[in-house]
Structure 1
Amino acid sequence: MAKIKVGIAGATGYTALEVARLLMSHPGAEVVAATSRAEDGKSLAEIHPSLAGRCDVPIETLDPKTIADKCDVVMCCLPHGASAETVHALVQHDVRVIDFSADFRLSSLETYEKWYGVKHPWPQRIGNVVYGMPEFFADEIAKADVVANPGCYPTSAIMPLSPLVQAGLIETDDIIIDSKSGVSGAGRSAKVATLYCETNESISAYSVGNHRHGPEIDDLVHRIAGKSIKSLFTPHLTPMDRGILSTIYVRHRGHTAAEMIQCWRDQYANSVFVNAVDHLPATKHVAGTNYVQMTARDCGERTVLVCAIDNLAKGASGAAIQNMNVMFGLPEATGLA
C-alpha cells in the first residue's frame, strides 16, 4: 500500500516539529512537503536540528495548488485567521486538511468572531467542520475534507467532562477548570512572558476569565453530551517544556468518584489512548505520548477530576496523526503507540 503523502503548512513551530517527529516512525505515511513564509529555501532539518539526517524536506513558499498536487493531506499549523484562508485555498485543489488553529472548532460564527476578534475568512464552514476527536466523531472524521484539530487545554477538559455530563452524574452549571501547561503551549515565537528568566522557578495564571479555550470547552461538551454547561476556566503557565494537567472541580449528583471512573471506562472501552486510572495522573506519565490519563476523587459535595495529557501530542500533533489515521482507514494507533 502506498504511503500517505503529508504536507506541513507553517513548518517552523513546535507542533510542526512534533508532526514531523511522529511521522518519522509512522509506517504508512511520510512528509513530502513543508512551507514557511520566513524560511523558504531551507530544509526542515535546518529549522529543527533534531530532525537532522531524518527529515531533509525542503521548505517552500506556500502555493496551494503545488502543495495539493504533492500531498494526500496537509497539516495546517498556522495561526487563526491565516489558517482559514489557507485551508480554504487548499480544499479548492482537492486535498484533505487537518487544521491546528481554532478557525473551525466552534459551532457559532458569532462566538468565533467575538473571542478571536477577526472576521472569519470562510464563514460558511463554521459549524460544518468535524471536531478532531475520534473518541466521539470517528465516522465523520473518516470522510471529512477538513478536520478541526482540538485545542490542547480543551482536550484535557472535554474528555473527562463529556461522559459525566451525558450520564447525568454531575451538575452542569458549576464547573471549575484549573489547567496548567508547559511553555511549549505558547508557541515558538519570542514573547517576554515565555522567556527563560520569566518562566523559570515561577508559575502564573493568565487570561483569567477570558481565555479563548473556555467557549471551546463549553461548546464541545454540549455537542458531545447534548447538554449545556457553564464552566470557569483558568489557565496557568508552568516552568516545564510540555504537558497539561487539568484539575476540575464539579458538584456531583449523589454519585461517587468510583462511579465516575467506571463511567469513563465504559465510555472509552474501545478508545486506544484514553485511560481512567486509580492513581493521580502526572504530566510525566504521558510525556511524549498520545495517551490521556484521568481519575476522580471524592471531596464532600464536590468531586475532583484530574486529567493529564501532553499538549504537543494528544493536545496537538499526536491528535492530528490519530485523525489522519482515521481519515485514511488505518488503525488509530498507527505510528503513535
Structure 2
Amino acid sequence: MTYKIAILGASGYTGAELVRLIASHPSIEIAALSGNSKAGQSMAQVFPHLRHLDLPTLTTIEDVDFAGIDLAFCALPHKTSQEVIAKLPRDLKIVDLSADFRLRDPQAYKTWYGNDHAAPELQEEAVYGLTEFYRDEIAKARLVAGTGCNAATGQFALRPLISAGVINLDEIIMDLKCAVSGAGRSLKENLLHAELSEGAHAYAVGGTHRHLGEFDQEFSALAGRPVQVQFTPHLIPANRGILATTYVKGDPKAIHKALEIRYVNETFIEVLPMNEHPSIRHVRGSNFCHIGVVADRRDGHAIVIAALDNLTKGSSGQALQNANLMLGLPETEGLMMAPLFP
C-alpha cells in the first residue's frame, strides 16, 4: 500500500530534507507541497538539487486539497504552525516540525515563545516526538510534535543516565556546537557568509534558549523532581550537524554501560566504545546519532558527547521515523542511508 502525504512549508530546509528522504521511500508518495512565498514555482526552481524528481508544484496552503491525503508534515515556523494545524481536517494525521506542540503546559509555551497558544486543545492531544522514547504513544497518535534539534541531541545523551540514576542531577553542564541550517532559511544578517565564517560564537547565553523548556519538561518528568541543566549553544560555520558535549558527575563506566543497555536495540543510536568520541562529519546526511563517553581526569566525572545531523535525525529524519510508526510502516523505512563522507 502507498500512502499519500503533503508537506506544508516545503520551501524551507526541513521541507527540502523531507522531500530528499521521502523520494526513495517505497511506501510513501508526495501528493502536495506548499510554500506560500514560492507558490507557483517548481521544487526544481527552489531547490535545484531535487530537479531529478517528479514533484508537485508548490502552492499556498489554502490551495492544498487534503482529500486522499493520509498524513501531513508541517515544516512551518512556530506560531504559524498552530494556527494552520487548527484548521486542518480532524481525521488527518500530522507530524509537526515546529515548536508549537512540544511543551505540554500552555504557560510554559508562553514563557519560552512569548505568546498564548492558539490551539491549547490540540496541545493536550499532541505526543512528544522523540521516537526512541515515545514509540508506543507515537504509533497511536494523530498529532506528533517533533522535538527541537538541540533538545533531541541533549536528550539522547542524558535520558538513559537520568533514568538509571548514574549521574548527579544537580551538576549537568551542556555545551552545544550547532550548524547554521538550524536557524532556518530566512535571510538574517548574522548568518551571512561574511558575518559567520571564520568564527564561532555563543548565543542564548545564561539560560534563554527556547529548547531549555524541553529539557526542563522531559528531564524533570524522568527524575520525578525539577532538573535544570546549564546549557550554552554555539553557532559554528558548518551547514549541518550538532555536537553536544555534556559534563556530568558519575562513574564513567556505569554511564557508558547505561547508554549501551538502553540503546542496544536502537537502529539509529550508536554508542561508541569507551573513551571514543563522535564527530558530526560521521553522521552527516544520515538519521544516525553517535554517542561517546570519555572518563574525565577527575575521579567520578565523565564527558558524554553526542553528534547528529540537525536536519535529519534532529528534524526531518525524526519526522519520517514518526510518520512510519503512525502509518504502520517499518520504522526504519526510507531512513537507512549511510552518512556522507567526506
Interval containing the TM-score (normalised by the shorter chain): over 0.9
**Change in CA separation of 1:224 and 1:52 when aligned onto 2, cut-off 3 Å:** farther
2:340 corresponding residue in structure 1: none
2:119 corresponding residue in structure 1: 122
**Match among 271, 274, 290 for residue 276 of structure 1:** 271
**1:163 partner letter:** P
**1:243 partner letter:** G
**Residue deviations 1:252-307 (CA, integer Å, cap 9, x gap):** 2xx2x222122112112221101111221000110000001001112124211100
Deviation at 1:103, TM superposition (A): 0.6
1:89 corresponding residue in structure 2: 87
CA contact (8 A) 1:272 1:332 kept: no
CA contact (8 A) 1:166 1:226 kept: no
2:339 corresponding residue in structure 1: none
**1:309 partner letter:** L
CA contact (8 A) 1:136 1:224 kept: no
Deviation at 1:56, TM superposition (A): 2.8
Q: Does 1:102 align with 2:112?
A: no
CA contact (8 A) 1:45 1:55 kept: no
2:325 corresponding residue in structure 1: 326
Q: Does 1:185 align with 2:178?
A: no
1:239-250 correspondence to structure 2 within 5 Å:
239-250=237-248
2:253 corresponding residue in structure 1: 258
CA contact (8 A) 1:91 1:145 kept: no
CA–CA distance in structure 1, aligned partners of residues 223 and 281 of structure 2:
30
1:35-114 correspondence to structure 2 within 5 Å:
35-63=34-62, 66-92=64-90, 94-114=91-111
SS at match of 2:116: coil
Task: Say how many residue pairs are matched.
Answer: 331
CA–CA distance in structure 1, aligned partners of residues 26 and 224 of structure 2:
38
Cα RMSD for the two superposed structures: 1.4
CA contact (8 A) 1:35 1:59 kept: yes
Deviation at 1:222, TM superposition (A): 2.8
**Residue deviations 1:145-168 (CA, integer Å, cap 9, x gap):** 100011100011011111101111
CA contact (8 A) 1:77 1:100 kept: yes
Deviation at 1:45, TM superposition (A): 1.9
**Change in CA separation of 1:89 and 1:250 when aligned onto 2, cut-off 3 Å:** same
1:125-164 correspondence to structure 2 within 5 Å:
125-164=122-161
CA contact (8 A) 2:278 2:290 kept: yes
**1:272 partner letter:** T
SS at match of 2:247: strand
**2:220 partner letter:** H
SS at match of 1:90: coil
Deviation at 1:189, TM superposition (A): 0.8
1:316 corresponding residue in structure 2: 315
CA contact (8 A) 1:268 1:274 kept: yes
Deviation at 1:139, TM superposition (A): 1.0
CA–CA distance in structure 1, aligned partners of residues 82 and 246 of structure 2:
32
SS at match of 2:305: strand
Deviation at 1:19, TM superposition (A): 0.2
CA–CA distance in structure 2, aligned partners of residues 264 and 4 of structure 1:
35
**1:27 partner letter:** P
**Residue deviations 1:73-122 (CA, integer Å, cap 9, x gap):** 11101111110111121143x21110011111012111110110111110
**Change in CA separation of 1:322 and 1:43 when aligned onto 2, cut-off 3 Å:** same
1:219 corresponding residue in structure 2: 217
CA contact (8 A) 2:86 2:122 kept: no
TM-score (norm 1): 0.95
**1:152 partner letter:** C
**1:229 partner letter:** V
CA contact (8 A) 2:277 2:294 kept: no
**Change in CA separation of 1:76 and 1:137 when aligned onto 2, cut-off 3 Å:** same
Gaps of 5+ in 2: 337-342
SS at match of 1:294: strand
CA–CA distance in structure 1, aligned partners of residues 282 and 124 of structure 2:
35
**Residue deviations 1:153-194 (CA, integer Å, cap 9, x gap):** 001101111110111101112211100111111111110111
CA–CA distance in structure 2, aligned partners of residues 186 and 137 of structure 1:
26
SS at match of 2:18: helix
**Change in CA separation of 1:205 and 1:67 when aligned onto 2, cut-off 3 Å:** farther
SS at match of 1:323: helix
For structure 1, which segment, 119-128 or 4-13, has the greater mean C-alpha deviation from structure 2 after superposition? 119-128
